[in-house]
Amino acid sequence: MRLREQPLHALSRQADRGRLYLDQGAARLRIRSSVKGFIRNLHLLYGAFPYLPADTGFADHHVELRRGRRLRALIRPQSRFRTDGQEPFEPFPLHGALPLFEWGINWSFAQRANQYILLHSGVLARADQAVIMAAPPGSGKSTLAAAMMLSGFRLLSDEFGVLDPNSGQLLPMLKPVALKNQSVDVIRAFSDQAVIGPLFIGTRKGDVAHLAPNETSTDGLHRPARPALVIFPAFEAGATLDCRLMAGEDAFAHLAFNSFNYHLLGPIGFHAVADVIAACPAYRLRFGQLEAAIEQIRSLLDEADRNTQRAAQGHPK
């Protein structure tokens, strides 16, 4: 059963009692909240996610989203986020509970999930071939990830490349894609399949709206993908498509040093990232148009696929 098939009031009751569970793949949350608007947004944006009953019993993160108390419940009411008793961020306005929750989960996950290498990248997959997209904020990474999901790719994450050092595979850490500023309209125009939540104006990252992960993506919550391609995208308005192969050491440095916990993992992180770079070609991709970029990524994946098959048959690359 999917979350959206559960009536809103039932979810609210579960959240009130601190027994609303949410499975994001690499992390399972237990949520306590009595902020009604927040649960409504959750119902919309996590609608395709599996519904977990109140007696699920185990969660990786125990989070609470509550209203400010006393005066702050009445005057410019606030929402506050806590994870296992810790409050990493200043309160947000009450209606901004969802972005606060999303950033709170990112923080909590990045603090704790040190059994994995946490690349700062979006990850999408075609079948079980993963594309790792790493880039600094503002380079159009989330927009491209959103458009790829709406074009048939399976979204694993738009923020975390969760690399398991034991298997060398990437795990889904699936959350709504945070679209910023102009991206919201771009994605709305890109596909009529896009389920987009309310626009939150003037957050610390500008205006933000969230794109709900689709069923293709949520159905693969526990299906890892094998790294096949590394892309460093850069959006430039009006630019023609430009795709350049990167030297391995260059790609390694960009991937490793932008990760959340590379410094912490020492040799574990080094070997895991080195294996990714050894297995995947890496490209810089400058684009001005989403369709063209996605077409290019498809053909790069085809090529990577052919090379892997040839290598498996013992032919040199």
Partner 1 sequence: MRGNAALPMPAGRHLLPLLRDPAHARGMRLADWDQTLRLARHARLLGPLGHRLQADPPSWDQIPARVQGHLQAGINDAAYHAQLVRMELRDLEQALPSDLSVTLLKGAAYLLQDLPLARGRTPNDVDLLVRRADLETAEQALKRAGWRMAVQSAYDEHYYREWSHELPPLRYPGHPLEVDLHHSITPVTSRTRADDALLFADLRPIPNSRYQALGPLDQIIHAVIHLFQDSELNNELRGLLDLDGLLRQFLDSEQDWRILIDRARAHHASRLLWYALHYCRTWLGTPVPEPLELPAPPALTRVAFDWVFRRSGPPKLPDKRSTLAQRLARQAGQARYHYRRMPAGLLARHLLHKGWIKVTAKNR
Instruction: Give residues in contact with partner 1 (CB under 8 A).
Output: 28, 32, 57-60, 62, 64, 82, 84-86, 112-116, 263-266, 268
- For tokens 């389920």, the residue is 195
Q: Is the CB of 214 or the CB of 259 nearer to partner 1?
A: 259
Q: Is the CB of 8 or the CB of 59 nearer to partner 1?
A: 59
Burial label, 25 (beta-carbon count in 10 A; 0-12, 13-18, 19+): buried
Rounded to 5°, angle at Cα 82 from 264 and 218: 75
Distances (CA, A) of 10 to 5, 39, 174: 11, 10, 23
- Take residue 85 and report the two structure tokens written for it: 């008793």
Distances (CA, A) of 208 to 199, 204, 211, 224, 310: 6, 9, 10, 29, 44
Q: Could you tell me the smallest distance in angstroms from the CB atom of residue 115 to partner 1?
A: 4
Q: Is the CB of 18 or the CB of 77 nearer to partner 1?
A: 18
Cα separation, 174 vs 178, whole angstroms:
12
Q: Is the CB of 113 or the CB of 221 nearer to partner 1?
A: 113
Buried b / exposed e across 198-208, counting CB within 10 Å, b at 16+? Answer: eebeebeeeeb
Q: Is the CB of 32 or the CB of 43 nearer to partner 1?
A: 32
DSSP letter, residue 218? H
Q: Is the CB of 113 or the CB of 130 nearer to partner 1?
A: 113
Q: Could you tell me the smallest distance in angstroms from the CB atom of residue 135 to partner 1?
A: 26
Q: Could you tell me the smallest distance in angstroms from the CB atom of residue 171 to partner 1?
A: 10
Q: Could you tell me the smallest distance in angstroms from the CB atom of residue 118 to partner 1?
A: 11
Q: Could you tell me the smallest distance in angstroms from the CB atom of residue 85 to partner 1?
A: 3
Q: Could you tell me the smallest distance in angstroms from the CB atom of residue 263 to partner 1?
A: 8
208 membership: H or E segment, kind and range: strand 206-211
- Take residue 46 and report the two structure tokens written for it: 């996590």
Cα separation, 68 vs 74, whole angstroms:
9
Burial label, 50 (beta-carbon count in 10 A; 0-12, 13-18, 19+): middle
Q: Is the CB of 112 or the CB of 188 nearer to partner 1?
A: 112
Q: Could you tell me the smallest distance in angstroms from the CB atom of residue 56 to partner 1?
A: 8
